[in-house]
Amino acid sequence: MGFSEHHSTGLSGEIIEQTGVHVEKCYQCGKCSAGCPLSDEMDYPPSLLLRMIQTGDKELEEKVLKSYTIWLCLSCEMCYQRCPMEIDIPTLCDYLRSRSIEKGHINPKAKNIVKFHKAFLNSIKNTGRLYELGMIANFKFSSMKLFQDADLAPAMISKGKLHFLPEKIKDTAQIKRIFNKTISKKVK
Amino acid sequence: MKIGIYPGCSLTGSAREYNQSVIAIAEAFGIDIEQIPDWNCCGATAAHNLNKDLSLALPARILTSAEKHGLFEVVVPCAACYSRLMTTKHELDHDPVKRNKISEIIEADYQGKVQILNVIEFIDKYITPKLDDKIKRKFNNKIACYYGCLLVRPAKILKYDRAEDPQSMDTVMLKLGAEPLQWNRKVECCGAGLTMAKTEIVAKLSGTIIEDAQHQGAEAIIVACPMCHANLDMRRKSINSVLGKKIDIPVIYITQAIGWALGMDDKKLEFFRHFVPVNITVKEVSV
């Protein structure tokens, strides 16, 4: 009997269907949590997050989507590399993040992380490439972290590491269409 | 044969010295490299954190543009861009349904004909075989080669170097006279994706890397990723304040290291853009 025939309902089943990741394969060896550089900053270390999904318990599933863990994941791929069952946890976290946004469950501690990602994508949507200076300004205002790294941006400018003007690609209209067909349908 | 290059956004801004050094060594070896026409951002961490289709569509547009212009081998110096392009290629090459869906989104037929090289694969293939004859000076330094995450993981997709203890950069540096060290943080994450949103976490992660390099006696850290460089070099002040000590080990791109060994000067390699001053000791000079 294949793994897919177990626990194929609820969040666990949804994950298999959308990503092909089989959370039920996890036997809690803990290698992911041991190798994760941010385990100790997370509310649930990766192996616990997997266990919570495995239970199929609705309350725990909601806690997963409301967790800080899914936003702290750096996608450094250490857990996936070391997992004896080859469970692709970074892809799982990508999926859980998109579900968390759709359900309005973003963890309060992760608000600035989401704001940063949005500032980054807004910059690409307009010009096709990242305009670092514009993105930094956009993020600083939306997160109100105006004085964070206050000395870094001027130093970067003096070293010629930041453009004053955005670099635009030719077909920015196509980039906008790509956004409209993907993320703009879901994330406001 | 013409080789395509995907610089990615960092290499036009915060990591422009990396771009300069890639071009400089390619020129020195007579390699014809051409930017993929009208390339766009790969979407980076932000895209795959928020939307799967977008995270595949942006790299697919890049790869399709390369195909259209006959660039079937593309070097991607940024390890993060390399990871996004490789992941997209892997997913689209193995899943026809996904390939069709993404082709529709990008209004072009993704063929999967492009071979993607990271910067060290590019060096190994086109530079290393002719390197010995061109070396003008050699490093007299102990160095720590820092690979970070995305150059080596996940091995299942990248099929590149050893995931836990990679050697490819060490081998190049050995050729350049340097003494590559055994150290513990070769493939640890610097915190890249959170560099602006959670600066304190990044300083902590990058701090453990710098501290271990110092502990093992490194006189320079060699990197192949603009995110790693930004965190270890530009953020050194905040790293040092987290560590409570001043560590002034410079961070050098592998392509700058090669350029230096070829005898290129600071003006060409743009060490002046670094936050931590670069000091290299010369072992031997040949004319």
What does the pLDDT look like over B247-260, one tens digit per residue?
999 999 999 999 99
CB contact under 8 A, A97 and B196: no
* Residue B205 sits at the chain A interface (C-beta within 8 Å): yes
Considering only the beta carbons, identify the residue of A160, A169, A171 that sits closest to B16: A160
* Residue B153 sits at the chain A interface (C-beta within 8 Å): yes
Of B1 and B183, which is predicted with more confidence? Answer: B183
SS3 A133: helix
Considering only the beta carbons, identify the residue of B51, B198, B273 that sits closest to A98: B51
Quickly count helices (H) and strands (E) in chain A. 11, 0
Q: Is residue B16 very low, low, confident or very high in pLDDT (cuts 50, 70, 90)?
A: very high
The answer to whether the Cα torsion of B59, B60, B61, B64 is positive or negative is positive
Q: How far is A5 from chain B (nearest CA, A)?
A: 22
Strand locations in chain A (E): none
The answer to whether the Cα torsion of B2, B8, B13, B19 is positive or negative is negative
Q: Compute, in degrees rounded to 10, the torsion defined by CA atoms B164, B16, B51, A79.
A: 10
Considering only the beta carbons, identify the residue of B155, B187, B197 that sits closest to A116: B197
Residue range B103-140, pLDDT digits in tens: 999 999 999 999 999 999 999 999 999 999 999 999 99
Rounded mean pLDDT of B159-174?
96
CB contact under 8 A, A98 and B188: no
Rounded mean pLDDT of B135-164?
95
Q: How far is A97 from chain B (nearest CA, A)?
A: 7
Q: How far apart (Å, rounded) are the C-alpha atoms in residues B143 and B230?
A: 18
Q: C-alpha angle A20/A26/A28, rounded to 5°?
A: 155
Rounded mean pLDDT of B238-265?
97
Q: Is residue B285 very low, low, confident or very high in pLDDT (cuts 50, 70, 90)?
A: low
Query: May I ask the CATH class of domain A3-106?
Result: mainly alpha
For B148, how many CA atoms within 13 A lie in the half-sphere containing its CB? 29
CB contact under 8 A, A95 and B52: yes
pLDDT-above-90 percentage for chain B: 94
CB contact under 8 A, A77 and B153: yes
Query: Residue A150 pLDDT > 80, yes or no?
Result: no
Q: How far apart (Å, rounded) are the C-alpha atoms in residues B68 and B89?
A: 16
The residue whose two tokens read 């905040």 is B238
* Phi, psi for residue B137 in degrees, rounded to 5: -150, 155
Q: How far is CA A7 from CA A10, A11, A64, in A?
A: 8, 9, 17
Q: Provide the pLDDT for residue A9.
A: 76
CB contact under 8 A, A117 and B191: no
Q: Is residue A1 very low, low, confident or very high in pLDDT (cuts 50, 70, 90)?
A: very low
Q: How far apart (Å, rounded) are the C-alpha atoms in residues A2 and A16?
A: 13
Considering only the beta carbons, identify the residue of B38, B53, B193 that sits closest to A169: B38
A8-12, A61-65, A180-184, B186-190: least confident range:
A8-12
Q: How far is CA B257 from CA A8, A174, B122, B135, B261, in A?
A: 52, 39, 15, 11, 6
- Return the CATH number of B3-118, one of 1.10.3720.10, 1.20.1050.140, 3.40.1350.10, 2.60.40.1170: 1.20.1050.140
Residue B221 β-bridge partners: B144, B251
* Residue A95 sits at the chain B interface (C-beta within 8 Å): yes
For B118, how many CA atoms within 13 A lie in the half-sphere containing its CB? 25
CATH code of B130-285, in short, is: 3.40.50.11810
Q: Provide the pLDDT for residue A8.
A: 62
Query: Residue B191 pLDDT > 90, yes or no?
Result: yes
The residue whose two tokens read 């995110």 is B227
Cis ω before B154 (30° cut-off from 0): yes
Copy the structure tokens of residue A58. 């609705």
Considering only the beta carbons, identify the residue of A94, A132, A178 that sits closest to B13: A132
Q: Going by C-beta distance under 8 Å and a sequence separation of 6 or more, which residues neighbour residue A150?
A: none
Q: Is residue A134 very low, low, confident or very high in pLDDT (cuts 50, 70, 90)?
A: confident
CB contact under 8 A, A117 and B54: no
Q: Provide the pLDDT for residue B1.
A: 77
Residue range B30-44, pLDDT digits in tens: 999 999 999 999 999
Query: Residue A5 pLDDT > 70, yes or no?
Result: no
With both helix axes pointing from N to C terminus, report the angle between A172-181 and A111-127 in degrees, rounded to the nearest 10: 140
- Dihedral class, residue A7 (left if φ above 0, else alpha if ψ from -120 to 50, else beta): left
Cα B284–chain centre separation: 28
- Residue B136's nearest CA partner among B20, B272, B21, B25 is B25
Q: How many CB pairs under 8 A join A and B?
A: 163
Query: Residue B234 pLDDT > 50, yes or no?
Result: yes
Domain boundaries, chain B: 3-118, 130-285
* Residue B53 sits at the chain A interface (C-beta within 8 Å): yes
Query: Residue A2 pLDDT > 60, yes or no?
Result: no
Residue B46's closest chain A neighbor by CA? Answer: A117
Contact list, A163 vs chain B (CB under 8 Å)? 12-13
Largest CA distance in chain A: 63
Residue range A33-71, pLDDT digits in tens: 999 999 999 999 999 999 999 999 999 999 999 999 999
Helix H or strand E segment including B3: strand B3-5
Rounded mean pLDDT of B232-244?
95
Q: Provide the pLDDT for residue A132.
A: 84
* Residue A183 sits at the chain B interface (C-beta within 8 Å): yes
Q: How far apart (Å, rounded) are the C-alpha atoms in residues B59 and B56?
A: 6
Residue range A68-86, pLDDT digits in tens: 999 999 999 999 999 999 9
Q: How far is B192 from chain A (nearest CA, A)?
A: 7
Query: Residue A149 pLDDT > 80, yes or no?
Result: no
Tell me the H-state helices in B176-284: 199-215, 226-229, 236-243, 254-261, 266-269
Q: Provide the pLDDT for residue A187.
A: 57
Mutate to test the interface with A, among B50, B55, B149 (most CBs of A within 10 A): B50
Residue B39's closest chain A neighbor by CA? Answer: A169
* Residue B178 sits at the chain A interface (C-beta within 8 Å): no
pLDDT-above-70 percentage for chain B: 99
Q: How far apart (Å, rounded) are the C-alpha atoms in residues A114 and A104?
A: 12
Q: C-alpha angle B20/B139/B182, rounded to 5°?
A: 100
* Residue A16 sits at the chain B interface (C-beta within 8 Å): no
Of B1 and A47, which is predicted with more confidence? Answer: A47
Return residue ranges of chain A for CATH 1.10.1060.10: 3-106
Residue range B45-84, pLDDT digits in tens: 999 999 999 999 999 999 999 999 999 999 999 999 999 9
A99-113, A127-141, B4-18, B213-227: least confident range:
A127-141
Q: How far apart (Å, rounded) are the C-alpha atoms in residues B215 and B182?
A: 11
Q: Is residue B220 very low, low, confident or very high in pLDDT (cuts 50, 70, 90)?
A: very high
SS3 B80: helix
Of B1 and B286, which is predicted with more confidence? Answer: B1
* Residue A98 sits at the chain B interface (C-beta within 8 Å): yes
Q: How far is CA A46 from CA A40, A50, B8, B95, B185, in A?
A: 10, 6, 31, 28, 21
Q: Provide the pLDDT for residue A4.
A: 46
